[in-house]
Amino acid sequence: MSEHRAKTVQEYIDETPVWADGTQVSETPMTSMQWRIWSLATAGKFFEGLVVFMTGVALPLIAIEFHAGATEKGLVGAASLFGILIGATLLGGLADRFGRKQMFIFEMALFTAFLVAVTTCNSFPWLIFYLFGMGMALGCDYPTAHMVISESIPSSIRGRLVLSAFGFQAVGALVGTAVGFLILRSSGAVGDWRIMYGTAIVPAVLVTAGRFFVTQSSHWLVAQGRIAEAEREVERLLRRQPSYPKRVVLLRAIEAEAVVAGKPPAKKADAGGYAKLFTKKKNRRATILASVPWFLQDLGTYGIGIFTPVILTTALGKTNEHARNLAEVVHSTMQAAKGAALIDVLLIVGIVAAVLLVDRVGRIRLQVGGFLGCAAGLFIAALSTYQPEGVLKTLLIFAGFMLFNFMTNLGPNAMTYLLAGEVFPTKVRGIGAGFAASFAKIGAVATAFLFPILLKDIGTATLLYALVVTSLIGAGVTWRFGIETKGLNLEKLDVEEPA
């Protein structure tokens, strides 16, 4: 086979090099550019985990400074998540129009600007707006970062690397909780919440600068008919020592579809739009699979994640609603933060297990099993509310939440993100993944806003039982509409009905 035969973008990316002396390597090696893209894409998930979960530690201090009640606390928790919803809806699909790289840079610059604004804010309404703005930037990152990775790496390791990047959400959650705890421990002032958010400014600036030096998605360039640019970007992406491939010759989009499908070239399809997600049967199925389980998963993940410190103090009977001074509030918050950090460690353990198993077990089985495990963990935590204060009560709630965190990152929290960027054709991948993320964040916003209110009105046990039910529904929907994408060449989704 001639190296100069015209090929598709993914054929070049998946190709196993044969060196000049005839030596063939056992697997496709990642280039330095591919690793750069991956590392910079991890930042968006890290910052999401950092600021969203840090909010749980900062919330008591924000409540003191702005005299916030249950409704205002709900607004603080929901603001960034509502921003993610709007950002994924309004900005996520723009990567299909303006390019993956352009939005990859823009979203991080936008996040940095709002992050700076949060740290200098002295007004509660403006705080909510700035938190919303940060979330909007992170919402754009949901589909864009996934596409930047998945359209640049070999199919055989796509699942592991996308999930590894997603796993930095758990790292960010743990770091955010730990940073909040350390700042409280060293100072204990009401305004410490600003310092917590401020710790992310310098890293965000560096990541924004780094994203200027990555390649554009060649898949997207080919879909736009910009073949010469796509060839140059593939060459940059796959630059190795020794050089391989020496020359890149790409098929046009229609030719590539014909090669993948094994059929004569078809007429070029109209540009994608939101209607495309529902008019074609395969797109409609993909939309349901990508959106509904993610919505159900977010009901639990963000509610439990943001309010773990509050739930722990409530369930363990250590709520201090009438703290006499700031020191008592800080002490209570620090104790809850330590418990939350211990539980958050299981998020990292779960994502590590997902990375190891995703390309062996498959996406659908892990998502179904993960939902069932989440239901079991929440049920165990709910049982703790019937126990008197003591060792058994503490054991049940920690065991339940730790099982929930492990299973959500082994299954639905990781798999919904991965599937949303894989099950749609190239022309509507940005819109499809953006729609799925925004639909999911309706659940996240609802649970973040309503959690403190419902905890007060219906109690911890009833709330946890409700989340058990939503987890079971998530398992059923995943099984019914499942599309397994393990090891699948994404170009096949442009022309084939997936199994």
Give the DSSP per-residue string, 341-365: HHHHHHHHHHHHHHHHHHHHH-HHH
Model confidence pLDDT, tens digit, residues 393-424: 778 878 888 899 899 989 998 899 899 888 88
CA distance 207 to 211: 6
Please name the residue that has the structure tokens 């609802």: 446
| pLDDT band per the 50, 70, 90 thresholds, residue 146 | confident
Asked, for residue 117, whether it belongs to a domain, the answer is yes
The pLDDT of residue 112 is 96
* Residue 301, domain CATH: 1.20.1250.20
Asked, for residue 233, whether it belongs to a domain, the answer is no
Nearest to 202, CA basis, from 102, 106, 115: 115
Share of the chain above pLDDT 90, in %: 31
Asked, for residue 20, whether it belongs to a domain, the answer is no
CA distance 305 to 169: 11
Give the DSSP per-residue string, 132-192: HHHHHHHHHHHHHHHHHHHTTS-GGGHHHHHHHHHTHHHHHHHHHHHHHHHHHHHT--TTH
Asked, for residue 18, whether it belongs to a domain, the answer is no
Model confidence pLDDT, tens digit, residues 270-321: 444 677 788 777 788 999 999 999 999 988 776 665 555 555 555 555 544 4
Sequence letter at residue 349: V
The pLDDT of residue 61 is 86
Which residues, listed in sequence order, are joined to residue 24 by a DSSP beta bridge? 18
Model confidence pLDDT, tens digit, residues 466-497: 889 999 999 999 999 998 888 777 777 666 65
Rg (CA), the chain: 23
User: Any idea what DSSP says for residue 23?
Assistant: -
Give the DSSP per-residue string, 365-411: HHHHHHHHHHHHHHHHHHHGGGSPSSHHHHHHHHHHHHHHHHHHHHT
- For 266, the enclosing helix (H) or strand (E) is none
**Mean pLDDT over each residue of the chain, to the nearest integer:** 82
The pLDDT of residue 437 is 83
* Stronger pLDDT, 133 or 78, i.e. the higher one: 133
CA distance 413 to 429: 19
**Is the pLDDT confidence value at 109 over 80?**
yes
Model confidence pLDDT, tens digit, residues 348-390: 888 899 999 998 899 999 999 999 999 999 899 888 878 777 7
What are the tokens at 99? Answer: 């390019």
Asked, for residue 337, whether it belongs to a domain, the answer is yes
Nearest to 384, CA basis, from 357, 404, 358, 364: 404
Task: Round to the nearest angstrom and report the end-to-end CA distance of the chain.
Answer: 30
Parent domain of 455: 32-219+277-494
User: What are the distances in angstroms from CA 279 to CA 121, 276, 333?
Assistant: 45, 5, 50
Model confidence pLDDT, tens digit, residues 326-340: 555 555 555 555 566
Asked, for residue 487, whether it belongs to a domain, the answer is yes
* Number of domains forming the structure of the chain: 1
Neighbours of 35 (CB within 10 A): 12
Sequence letter at residue 252: R
CA distance 56 to 20: 56
What are residue 7's phi and psi, to 5 degrees? -135, 170
Identify the three-state secondary structure at position 268: coil
Asked, for residue 436, whether it belongs to a domain, the answer is yes
Which residues have CB under 8 Å from 42's CB, separation 6+?
164, 165, 168
| pLDDT band per the 50, 70, 90 thresholds, residue 267 | very low
Contact (CB, 8 A) for 131 and 73: no
The pLDDT of residue 209 is 96
User: What are the distances in angstroms from CA 296 to CA 159, 260, 353, 371, 416?
Assistant: 22, 35, 22, 10, 10
Asked, for residue 467, whether it belongs to a domain, the answer is yes
Q: What angle do CA 461, 464, 466 make, to 5 degrees?
A: 110
Contact (CB, 8 A) for 344 and 174: yes
Q: What angle do CA 8, 224, 28 make, to 5 degrees?
A: 30
User: Any idea what DSSP says for residue 424?
Assistant: S
CA distance 110 to 465: 38
CA distance 246 to 20: 11
**Is the pLDDT confidence value at 342 over 60?**
yes
Which residues have CB under 8 Å from 247's CB, separation 6+?
3, 4
Identify the three-state secondary structure at position 194: helix
Model confidence pLDDT, tens digit, residues 34-91: 999 999 999 988 998 888 778 877 888 888 889 888 788 878 877 887 888 888 878 8
